[in-house]
Structures are given as structure tokens and as C-alpha cells.
Chain A
Amino acid sequence: MSAATVDLADRASSGKHSPFRRALRIGLILGVVAVYGATVGILPLMDARWVIVHVVSLGDAALIAIGLSGGTVVAARTRSSEFWPLVPPSLVAGGVAGGLLALLALAMQAFPLRQIFIPLSPSLLKSLTFGLGAPLGGAVLIVVGALLAVLGAALSRAPEGLRKPVTVGLAFVIVFGVFQELIQIMMQSGGAIDALRQSIYTWEGLTLEGALMIFVLASGATFVWTAWLRGPARERLIHLSPAQRRYAKAVRVVLFILVLVLLPVVAGSYIGQVMMLVGLYILMGIGLNLEVGLAGLLDLGFVAFFAVGAYTTAILTADSPHALASYTAIPSLSFWAAMPIAVVASIVVGVLFGIPVLGVRGDYLAVATMGLGEIVRVVVQSDMAAPLLGGAQGILQIPKPRIGGYELADPVQLFYLTLAASAIAAYFAWRLENSRLGRAWMAVRDDEDVAQALGINLVKVKLLAYGLGAAFAGLAGSIFAVMLTSVYPSSFQLLVSINVLALIVVGGMGSLPGVMVGAMALVGLPELLREFGEFRFLLYGAALIMMMRVRPEGLWPSATRRRELRDEAGESVLDEPEDAAALARRRVSDLQKTEL
């Protein structure tokens, strides 16, 4: 069964229950989510960030969103389009969700839970119960939850002309409030923009007046767009000629690149640093995408190639006793000379890595590659390799790259380096995807035996996947080394492999734009919300589970994948074995057609 059918089955079975049991279930799930957030410590962290200064914190916003979604989920699960029948179940759902939080508050007041659960602090209790103490505050929580759910239900049954502006306005307020630091930096350019900034922000964040202003502007603009502008715009888009459409696409791409190039200049070096990190992960994602997305080789030792790139660059360029230049006749190289060598070294390691695991398949392959990656880390960290690689202290004093006499020291400048590298990598990956080799990879992914029977040389094709995937990781590692100007074994944990895997899974396996979307969502976003940094891995875990359950094809699936999904009439390809076999057969016949 696919995730979609499971969901359908869920819906069908919940359809049998009375609306109240369904509402109870929704309320319980939402309440558990809220209690979980509080116990794990996300909620207290969110409470520390204001959306509107001294009025609404991000934590409040999250709880409000949970309350509202009680109503919207009830509405989505009910067929009738009327509002009034939704009120009682919404009340139940919201009340139950609030009730679970109230129970948590009661438990916190009655028992010294803090001794076990660190985040359950008295300040959390105070903010949960509005400072009223658990019994009274809990009652308020239940009532507020129920009312919010009704509001949510009302909103989802409201006409589009009302619903859309309100949601867009709220979203704008939240974005402007949560990212206030960055937006304020961007708006500090002076003149009229700075005056505008001062009218909506204080140094602490968004003011209430500012929030109202943003809400009115955003919802007003949305209202105008939906009411009068959207129809004609669509009309015009439909009547475009193919040439015009291509032109429009080119303009969009150029605009996108222009924004990418200019953003760090406008937004300052912090954004530059974040974008640089995103760029590095895009590079690695492109590499792993060749292995996992195209060739279907789940490689959890990917970080080893990244480490090889970084360490090769380090020992070739660094000004330290571990550099090759200090104990051999090899001269100290510049970054530009070391980078290609690092990439070649990664390719060699990738192929060497791939040879022993050629015959290992599926799950075993994941564990075997993970073991190989861990071996690399253990060896680098040990005293055995310390004379060569610096052991746990790593290699320091790696010079920044220079162009002429000019040093690329700033994160923004390094971002341009990463951008250039990712652009080249993306071009290569795009050409590979549509090449004979790319099709061979996809055939291997779908069925190794069939692919071999068709005359695809498994050894060659798989080793190319490992080698080329490693090349991109090596390039990323090389840039990573000069970014930090030092390399430590602790930077090359398994977490990095999982991180890259998570971003290609979220973006969509085998899809290039998916890699970018995934990197922005999983690397960029947690980096922008700095204090949530420690929860990013929780996010990765949750993202992997949710994506596999709800949307296995990813946020931005590749064209082939999308076509396959349409072929299967909504069924995911990963699922039914028979379907997969049928698909493989069809893919094979496609392959033959294209290759003839």
C-alpha cells in the first residue's frame, strides 16, 4: 500500500466513526504534538522569540496555529460545505488539544518533573497557564483551544476572497516578525527605506502598529490580486506563444540568478555565510543525488568523500607541520591547484570505496557504506594517523584562496566561489542525468538484474556513480576546508551524510531543483533561526519520516518521477512490487527505443 492509499484508508475508516470520535482523535493528536513540543524544549525556545514585541511570541503563534488547525483539519475531513455542523466537533478537537496541555500544566505543578525533563521549567508553566496557575490557567487553555478551533473551521469555510487575504496577511506578519533581524539589516540602507523600517520595527522587533500595517498591506494586495488581477494574468499566460514562454522562463531564471548574486551584498555577511553553507550542501546533494537518486545506491558513508576533499586540500596548502610541503619535496600549493587534486583524490577514494560493495545491495549497502565512512573517521581521529593528519586536533592554518593578489576572505566572496562551483556541478549533473549513463543509472536503480540483462555493465556504471558522486563531495570538502581554514575529524560525522540524504529526500530524489529546495529548507532555514540549531536534527528525523509517509516523491520531484507517478494514476512507484516490475519493463522498452 502506498502512503496515499494508507491515508485514504485512514480517511475511509475515520469516515465510519461519528464526527465526534474523529474530532477527539484530531484533538488528541494535536494535543500530543503540543505537549511533545513543550517537553522536548522547542516551545520554550520559541517563546523566547517575538513575532510582535511583547504581544505575541513565536511559541504563542505555534500554539495558536495548533488550535486553529484543530478546526481546519475537522473541516477538511468533513464533506459538507456548511459551517454550523462543524462547530461542535471543532469545539471538541480544540478543547481536547488544550486539555492535554492543561494536563501537562497540572502535572508540572503537582510533581517535580523538571528533575527529569529539563525543559519543563517554571517559566514554561507560567507562560502556558497565562500566569494564572495550573487549574484556572488550564481551564482557560481548554476554552481558548476550543474557540480557536472554531475560528479555524470558520476560516476554512469562509469564501476564498476572505480566507486568502487573511492567511497571506498572517503569514507575512510572521515572516516579518520572526526574521526581523535580517530584514532590519537589509532595510538599513538609509533614506526612505530606513524611515519605513523605523516605522514598523523597534530594535527589539516588530511593533504592534507595524504588524497591523504589514497585515493590511499584504492582505489588501492579495485581495486585489485574487479579485481583479489573477484572472486576466492567467488569461494572458495561456495565450503566450511557445517562444514567448521560453523567453519568460529565461527571464525568470536570470532574475533568480540575479537575486542569488545580489542578495548577500544587500543582506550582509551573515546571510552570505548561510547561503554559502547552503551552497556547499547543494554541491554535496548533487553528488549524493547521482548515487541515491539516479543509481539507487543508498550511500551513508558519503561524508568520507567530503573529508577526503577537505583533508587533501589541507595537507596540500596548509602552513602547518602536517602539510606535505613541510616534510616532503612537494611545494605548498595554492587553493586553485589543490582543488582539482582534491577532487581527483575523492574520485579515487570513491571508486575504491565502491569496489568492495559492488555486490552488496539495498539495506546491506547502506550499512556497509556507513561502516566504511565510520572507519575513515575513526582512523583519521586516532593516534595512528595523527602524524599525517593531525589526529583530533586537525590541521590548522589553511590559507584562503587568492585571485592575483586579492584574498577571498569574506564569507560573501567565498559564497560566490561556492555559487560558481554549484552552478558548474549542476550543469554537469543535468547533462549526466539526460545522458546514456544517466539512463543506465536509472535502469540499475529500478532493477539491477534487468539492467544487466540489457547489457549494462553494472561494475562500470556503479563505480562511475560512486566516483562522480564523490567528486562533487570532494569539491565541497575542498571549499569547506578553506572556509574554516582548518579541518577537524569531528566535522565529518555521520550526521553530515544523514543531513545530505535528508535534503535530497525532502527535495525529491533524482531531482536537481529538489536538491536546492531541500538544502534551503533543511540547511538554510535552521541556520537563519539560529537558536533552533540544536533542533535541526530533530527536524531532519521528522522530515525523513513525514516525507516518506506523505510525499515520497519529494517537494520538487524530477520530471521523470512525476511522469511515472501520473502513469501510475496517483500510485507511488516505490510501492507495489508488481507495479515496480511493470514499470521496469516499460522503462526498459523506453530505453531500447531511445537507444536504437
Chain B
Amino acid sequence: MTDIARGRTLVPRLRSLSRFTFVDVVLWALRIGVLVVVVGGSVGTLIKGRYGAVQWFEFLTFGVTMGSVYALVALGYTMVYGVLRLINFAHGDIMMTGAFSGYFVATAFAGSGFLDRDPVLAMLAIMAVAVTTSTTIALLTERLAYRPFRHVRGLAPLICAIGVSFFLEQTFRGAFGAGVRAYPDPKWQKGTISVFGSSVPILQIVVVAAALISMAILYVIVQRTKMGTAMRAVSEDADAAALMGIDVDRVVVFTFALGGAMAGIAGVCYGFIFKQVYFYMGFTPGIKAFGAAVLGGIGSVPGAMLGGLFLGIVESVGPALFLDGIGIPAPYQLRDLIAFTLLIMVLIFRPYGILGERMAKKRT
């Protein structure tokens, strides 16, 4: 049996001690297999020495950049899960809506030259529009699709969330076309700054800075404001919070709004990093960010940030470090494979995440 069952009930634990079933064999094979690939690949790559320090540094900075985007998205998953115990499957697509609206503003600014003339103000305006759009859509989905399932258990809410995800994607596909649209590429974003003797693209610094600032604001909101306290109370125990006079409905709405805002910023960052938007773009980062949220311990805000960063770095360094070493051709095609493997390993072996245990202890 797996760890979660072992942790919860005594019977499977005793059984797994007394006999080693074929299920355990498969699970151990999975663990050892992944470990062998990671260790063997790393050793192989380092012996081969194909990549120099500059390249590793580039992988790392790109990993941190992507990781901060994942962290922003993961925050939305983790907060909604904390309050509603619902995987907001459509959260990746809410990020996509932010990226799309940001795209329209950004192209308009690029056309008028505003984006080059006044980068800070322009970026702020783009993000503001993206945040407004994604927050609005997050609130709409909450009101129309999720609120009726507030007290429903079972598969119905999840299936509805999958439906919302599809509905959003296809709506955007219908309204804005199925083609890939290119984000503007202003000159200043191509420049680099030297950090510790290596050059880092300005864009990556902008993305990381935007993510850090918004996460700091979010952290203050969650920890210091009345609404944030209410949020934490509801995610601790919704019924007790309601008895204490907290308006759970308002807290849920607020949570969705916060998550939507973070997703909007993430969408613009994602758009500028990959220079393209299309209706399906939210799906893969959404799933990965969910993995990051689980990795960090779902329901935990710092956990989501850490999990996102970790995922971004592993995904960026991983192909070169683990896969190149065991002689896999074109390891970059398998970036998603690393992220998904990490996701599955976390779900199977550590569903309470890295920080989850501390939280679980705090609650008992």
C-alpha cells in the first residue's frame, strides 16, 4: 500500500510489514527506477562534461523564471483547494485568459511605441488589464459553475471543473481563433544584465521581480489582513469559521479573486517568456502548477511558492542533467515528461507535500 494509507490506518501497515505484495514490488521498482535515472543520469552528464558553468547558470535562471510563474499559478490552486477542497481544473485556462487580454493590450502598446518608450508603465498597464480579465473570469466561473456544488461531494464538482476548463478554452478559440499569436518583442527585453559575472536576460529579471512582488503582496494579504485571516480560518475548518461569524461566501469569492489576479500576472509573464498565446496554452502549465501546489503541500501558501520554484528548476535543469547522461536523444522534448513524472511521484508517494507534514502536525 502507499504511504498515505499507511499513515492513516493501522491495518494496511501491519499487512505491508507481514508480507511484501507485488504492488509493493512495483512501487519500489518505480522509486528505484526514478532514483537510478536521476543519479545515473547526473553522474553520466557530469562525467561527459558537455555543459559548462555558463550553461548550467542559464538553465538555473530559466528554471527560477519558470518556477516563479508556476508558483503564481500554483497559489491559485492551493488557495482554492484550501478553502473549497476543490481542484479548480480551469485555473490554467484562467491564466490563459489573462495572457490573451494582455496580448491585445501589449500589441496595441507595441504598435504605438508606448511599450518601448515607457516600459515600466506599459508593463504595469498590461498586467492590470490581464489581472482584471482573469479575476473577472475567475469570479464568473465561481458564481456560475462552482457555487452550486459547494456542498456536493464525489466526482460531480471535479467533472464540472473539467467542463469549465474546456468551455473556457473553446470559447477563446471561437472568439479569437485557433492560431498562435505572437506577443510583441520590445528591444529592452532582449538586453542582459550581468549578475555574478554571468549575463541574465532582463526579461527574466522582470518576470521574477513581478512574481516576487505579487507574492509578497499576497503573503501580506493572507497573513496580515482581516480577510486573509478569515481565509485561513475557512481553510482550517469552514463550518467552525461560519460559526465564528465569517461569511464563507465572501471568503470564497475573495479567494477566487486573489487566485485569478495571480493567474493574470502569470499569464502575462508566460506570454512574454514564450512570445506566444493560443487557446490551449493554459493546460500544461496549469497541470504542472497543480503538481507544484501538491508538492509544496496543498493548502499552504509558502508551499506553493516553494513547490513552483522547485518544479521550475527541476524541469529546466532536468533534461540536461538526468536524461542527457543516460544517452537519450533530444532530451528537451522530454521536459514535460520530467514535470509529469514529478507530479505523479508526488501524488503517489507524498500527497501531503513537503510542508504538508508540518501543517498536519500543527492541526493535530
Contacts and interface: CB of A to CB of B under 8 A. Distances in A.
Interface of A: 1-3, 6, 36, 39-42, 116-119, 292, 296, 298, 300, 352, 355-360, 362-364, 366-368, 370-372, 374-375, 378-379, 381-384, 459, 494, 498, 501-502, 505, 534-535, 537-538, 540-545, 548-549, 552, 574-577, 580
Interface string B74-100: 000000000000110000000000000
Given A118-B177, A552-B156, A1 B166 contact: no
Nearest to A116: B104
A117 B347 CA distance: 40
B348 A360 contact: yes
A541 B163 contact: yes
Contacts of A538: 166-167, 170-171, 173-174
6 contacts: A118-B175, A355-B27, A367-B291, A371-B343, A371-B344, A383-B330
Interface in B255-296: 283, 287, 290-291, 294
Contacts of B173: 534, 538
A379 B337 contact: yes
Contacts of B26: 352, 355-356
A368 B87 CA distance: 13
A118 B164 CA distance: 22
Contact of B340 (A39, A371, A549): A371
B4 A359 contact: yes
Contacts, number: 184
B159 A505 contact: yes
A378 B340 contact: yes
Given A364-B351, A505-B159, A384 B166 contact: no
Contact of A372 (B27, B174, B344): B344
Contacts of A575: 151-153
A545 B337 CA distance: 30
3 tightest A-B CB contacts, nearest first:
A544-B163, A541-B166, A359-B2
B149 interface: yes
B336 interface: yes
B153 A574 contact: yes
Interface of B is mostly: helix
B341 interface: yes
Given A366-B158, A459-B21, A360 B2 contact: yes
A6 B148 contact: yes
A542 B167 contact: yes
Contacts of A577: 151, 153
B152 A370 contact: no
Given A538-B170, A544-B162, A574-B154, 16 more contacts: A1-B148, A1-B150, A40-B170, A117-B175, A118-B177, A300-B162, A359-B3, A359-B348, A366-B87, A371-B344, A383-B329, A501-B159, A538-B166, A541-B170, A548-B159, A575-B151
B348 A356 contact: yes
A36 B140 CA distance: 14
B162 to A, nearest CB: 6
A549 B160 contact: yes
Contacts of A118: 175-177
Contacts of B329: 383-384
A545 B146 CA distance: 10
B84 to A, nearest CB: 11
Contacts of A368: 343-344, 347-348
Pick from A117, A459, A549 the residue with the most CB of B within 10 Å: A549
A108 to B, nearest CB: 13
Given A534-B173, A538-B166, A574 B156 contact: yes
A510 B340 CA distance: 30
Contacts of A580: 153-154
Contacts of A381: 333
Given A1-B150, A39-B175, A535-B170, A541 B159 contact: no
Pick from B27, B149, B166, B334 the residue with the most CB of A within 10 Å: B166
A544 B150 CA distance: 17
A542 B151 contact: no
Interface of A is mostly: helix
B203 interface: no
B145 interface: yes
A119 B344 contact: no
Pick from B1, B157, B162, B167 the residue with the most CB of A within 10 Å: B162
B162 A501 contact: yes
B183 to A, nearest CB: 15
A493 B133 CA distance: 29
Contact of B174 (A296, A352, A363, A535): A535
B155 interface: yes
A45 B175 CA distance: 13
Contacts of B21: 459
Interface string B1-43: 1111100000000000000011100110010000000000000
B174 to A, nearest CB: 3
B169 interface: yes
B34 to A, nearest CB: 11
Contact of B145 (A6, A362, A505, A545): A545
A375 B158 contact: no
A521 B157 CA distance: 23
Pick from B27, B153, B154 the residue with the most CB of A within 10 Å: B154
Contacts of B171: 36, 40, 538
B54 interface: no
Contact of B164 (A352, A358, A541): A541
B166 to A, nearest CB: 3
B213 interface: no
Contacts of B157: 548
Contacts of B291: 367, 371
Contacts of A549: 145, 148, 160
A173 to B, nearest CB: 28
Nearest to A509: B155
A41 B175 contact: yes
Nearest to B101: A116
B132 interface: no
A298 B174 contact: no
Interface in B184-202: none
A358 to B, nearest CB: 6
A503 B168 CA distance: 19
A375 B270 CA distance: 23
A541 B167 contact: yes
B124 interface: no
Contacts of A296: 155
B178 interface: yes
Pick from B164, B170, B328 the residue with the most CB of A within 10 Å: B170
A42 to B, nearest CB: 7
A363 B158 contact: yes
Nearest to A386: B329
Contacts of A119: 174-175
B23 A41 contact: no
B87 A363 contact: yes
A494 B199 CA distance: 39
Contacts of A360: 2, 4, 347-348, 351
A497 to B, nearest CB: 10
A292 B155 contact: yes
B163 A41 contact: no
B235 interface: no
